[in-house]
Amino acid sequence: MRTQRLIRNTLSHALLAAIVLTGTDAFAAKISRLTPPSELFASANANGPVISRFLQGQRFDLQATVQPDVGQTIVGFYFSVDGRTTNPPNIDSNYKITYPLAGHLGRVDESASDASCIDTTSGKTTGKSGCKLTAGLPGNAVVVSQRAYAAYEPGVHVLKIVATQSNGSQVSAEGNFEIVAPASGQTKAKNIIVFLGDGMGATHRTAARIMAKGYAQGKAKAPLTMDTFPYTSMVMTSSLNSIVTDSAPGMQNYVTGNKAENNQEGVFPDDTLDPFDNPRVEYLSEYLHNLQGKSLGVVTTADVFDATPASMAIHTSARGNGTGIVDQFLDDRAQTGLTVLMGGGRKWFLPNPSNSVSPQPVNGSQRRNANDYVLSDDVVNGWGVARGKLDPERDLIADFQNAGFAYAPNNAGLSDAFKHGTPDKLLGLFAYSNMNVSYDKIAARRGDSTVVDAFGFPDQPLLEEMTDKALQVLSKNPNGFVAMIEGASIDKQAHLMDTDRWVLEVIEFDRAIAVAKAFAEKNPDTLIIVTADHECSGAAILGAATASAADLSAKPNAGTTVVGTYEAAKFPKYKIAADGFPQTTLIDNKMLIGYGANADRYETWLPNLFPTKDSQQPFPPTQSPSDPSSRNKDIGYFVSGQVPGDQAVHTATDIPLSAYGAGATQFHGVIDNTEVFFKLASAALAQ
């Protein structure tokens, strides 16, 4: 088999050479990608913005894609920064030369791949499954790396790659990056808490305030807790490859200080097919765990593999790699300090023993080889991380428990975990995939558990309860912690344009913020920021209904005829129950929301009794509508979409950030999302 492959490859390469010799195609040697990204490399503009910026000592990978001349191969390479090699030799007392960082170097090419990886006609890579490189590169292209580089001298530095071809000629290119010193004079923050309201724009915050607090004579009767934070920024949220980000770069940009492409977490883009070998950049959690011994807590109402929680600790270019993502959470806890992980997503933690005899357990495991990870030597050596393993049979809950994590499968279990004192580490998996939203969790606590029962998880905690427990565990570390607490379904329900559900999600989120604020009041060396990764749906508060609840219900296709704008909107008056949530969202003259980034939908202005379907749940309720374009069809008022698909989309609108506590004074003005990283680090590193 191996011989046949060698013959095929040889023939393939011979054919490639023949193509070139006849002059039908020609490649010129070049560097087609240099990482970290820079405008200097991309456009040769030395005066453009410096794209990649790192803290002193923050690790990141150097990488280049080299396209040699036809018939040539790359036989050597080196990177240099400001003219000095990044892989310096060591000369011992016997004048023996060694290269201590040799194990950090890696190269990926198709030289050992199946012949199908290079198209015999074009001579270019095919990008087929099982190959190494993406499609469209010359067949002799190579991706070369040096892992876990770090620099300490503040300022802009010139990065150069030099690759040597088999004929001895060289090809090179230059880019740049900046090393940033922490801002001086900051108040030191031992603990950092990032509240991430996924998709939460200014409208979402305002709507929650109107519903939860009420207005009178033009003034809010009370602020949301996040409104009480004294420092505010507006944040620009774009990703590396789009003005409109998704949640992966939307979060990771905050905690790496660098831009990622959409769908990518803790990495820069590359030209290889392996989603776990991309050039890495060190997370805030890793940086502060290694430097100061801080713990990491990740709390979400989504599946824990989702883009936002994963973008605190996981390095992958494909946010959907559930098995590898949850494995990395545990495997690399020595790098990140992971101490608390809570949310949904139990399906990724259940063993799927592919080689056991039938019948296997029918446990709903979604673990698969196809989305697991195994790292190359250079990544393992450079970063000191676990290699990983294709192991769908892994019982990850048991492995977490064996690593000292208390496991809570539901809210009662969460309380039980604290019966004999605060555990040292905590794992909470409260749903199969995403957790139910507060609209339905609160309904269950008030006696109607129809929806949560239908989902199969009748006893799920609220985010405020998860936050309280997380802070108890994390605050056991005298060195402090970094925590990310996410209100995930603000975004998910905004995508679905389910107004009543996302407004309650913001209220739930704000109640969790209140828990953290109380913690910060007792622990003043704590910095809290409340922000979002992006806005979702182009939500806008139109005004309020001019009709009663009964009239809205009787005429669900009333459409624009009941929309009260300007003074006709008056001040909607919701009654808040003792649990902190509105008694009902269907009141007379209720607040009305429109969407500027909407897909086709039918609007009734009424609450939807059942959440719109989530196909990742084990028991999608029979009554759930499949999507907004069919929800209330033939009953509601048709609103024509402005975007394709059947959901609203993220927008590029700036989002508000509020800050409280130690180091909060840094947050003002209009800032890029990557700038948040340096402000958080400056607070943590202050003397």
Partner 1 sequence: MNGVSGSIAAAIALAVVFFTSAPVHAAPDAAAAAPRTPKLLAVRKDLGSPPAGVTDLKFRDIFKTPVGDKGLEPSATLLALDGKRVRMIGYMVRQPSASKGAFLLSPLPVEISDEDEPLADDLPPSVVAVEVGGAANKPIPLLPGLIQITGVLHVGAKTDAASSRVSSVQIALDAHLGKALLGGAAPTRPASRTVHVDVH
Q: Which region among 184-192, 439-447, 512-520, 672-680 touches partner 1 (by CB under 8 A)? A: 439-447
CB 475, CB 515: distance < 8 Å: no
* Closest separation in Å from C-beta 322 to partner 1: 6
Distance, CA of 135 to CA of 412 (rounded, Å): 51
For partner 1, the closer of residues 596 and 607 by Cβ is 607
For partner 1, the closer of residues 88 and 361 by Cβ is 361
* Closest separation in Å from C-beta 35 to partner 1: 21
- Selected from 125, 278, 624, 653, the binder of partner 1 by CB under 8 A is 624
Scan residues 444-483 and list those touching partner 1 (CB under 8 A).
Answer: 446-448, 450-451, 453, 456-459
For partner 1, the closer of residues 277 and 286 by Cβ is 277
Residue 333 touches partner 1, criterion: CB under 8 A: no
- Selected from 43, 358, 640, 687, the binder of partner 1 by CB under 8 A is 358
Element (H, E) at 231: strand 231-236
For partner 1, the closer of residues 624 and 682 by Cβ is 624
CB 479, CB 190: distance < 8 Å: yes
Comparing CA positions, the residue from 487, 492, 529 lying closest to residue 506 is: 487
What are the distances in angstroms from CA 505 to CA 211, 265, 302, 349?
Answer: 12, 25, 12, 26
Scan residues 494-523 and list those touching partner 1 (CB under 8 A).
Answer: 504
Scan residues 120-149 and list those touching partner 1 (CB under 8 A).
Answer: 129
Beta-carbon-side half-sphere exposure of residue 661 (alpha carbons within 13 Å): 28
Burial 300-327 (b: 16+ CB within 10 A, else e): bbbbbbbbbbbbbbbbbbbbebbbbbbb
CB 592, CB 544: distance < 8 Å: yes
Comparing CA positions, the residue from 175, 182, 159 lying closest to residue 79 is: 159
For partner 1, the closer of residues 272 and 653 by Cβ is 272
Distance, CA of 658 to CA of 676 (rounded, Å): 11
β-strand pairing of 231-236 with 295-303: unpaired
Residue 620 touches partner 1, criterion: CB under 8 A: yes
Q: Could you write out the DSSP letters of every residue in 391-455? A: -TT--HHHHHHHTTEEEESSHHHHHHTTTTS--SEEEEE-SSSSPPPHHHHHHHHTT--HHHHHH
- Selected from 14, 619, 668, 670, the binder of partner 1 by CB under 8 A is 619
* Closest separation in Å from C-beta 117 to partner 1: 15
Burial label, 292 (beta-carbon count in 10 A; 0-12, 13-18, 19+) = middle
Residue 567 touches partner 1, criterion: CB under 8 A: no
* Closest separation in Å from C-beta 413 to partner 1: 7
CB 571, CB 216: distance < 8 Å: yes
Cis peptide before 36 (omega within 30 of 0): yes
* Closest separation in Å from C-beta 275 to partner 1: 8
Site string for partner 1, 249-278 (x = CB under 8 A): ------------------------------
Instruction: Compute CA 572 distance to the chain's CA centroid, rounded to the nearest angstrom.
Output: 36
* Closest separation in Å from C-beta 221 to partner 1: 20
Contact partners, residue 168, CB within 8 Å, separation at least 6: none
Residue 577 touches partner 1, criterion: CB under 8 A: yes
What does the radius of gyration of the chain's CA atoms come to, in whole angstroms? 27
* Closest separation in Å from C-beta 670 to partner 1: 33
Query: If DSSP codes are grouped into helix, strand and coil, which group holds residue 687?
Result: coil
Residue 615 touches partner 1, criterion: CB under 8 A: yes
* Closest separation in Å from C-beta 607 to partner 1: 5
> 343 pairs with which residues across the strands?
429
- Selected from 182, 607, 642, 643, the binder of partner 1 by CB under 8 A is 607
Comparing CA positions, the residue from 461, 412, 416, 465 lying closest to residue 441 is: 461
- Selected from 88, 293, 364, 384, the binder of partner 1 by CB under 8 A is 364
- Selected from 365, 381, 434, 477, the binder of partner 1 by CB under 8 A is 365
CB 617, CB 566: distance < 8 Å: no
Scan residues 311-330 and list those touching partner 1 (CB under 8 A).
Answer: 318-322
For partner 1, the closer of residues 97 and 357 by Cβ is 357
Residue 553 touches partner 1, criterion: CB under 8 A: yes
Map tokens 């192991």 to a residue: 391
Q: Which region among 73-81, 194-202, 345-353, 375-383 touches partner 1 (by CB under 8 A)? A: 345-353
Element (H, E) at 252: helix 247-256
Scan residues 635-664 and list those touching partner 1 (CB under 8 A).
Answer: 635-636
Residue 412 touches partner 1, criterion: CB under 8 A: no
For partner 1, the closer of residues 433 and 598 by Cβ is 433
Residue 373 touches partner 1, criterion: CB under 8 A: no
* Closest separation in Å from C-beta 618 to partner 1: 5
Residue 158 touches partner 1, criterion: CB under 8 A: no
| Number of chain positions touching partner 1 (CB under 8 A) | 84
β-strand pairing of 74-81 with 170-180: unpaired
For partner 1, the closer of residues 140 and 589 by Cβ is 589
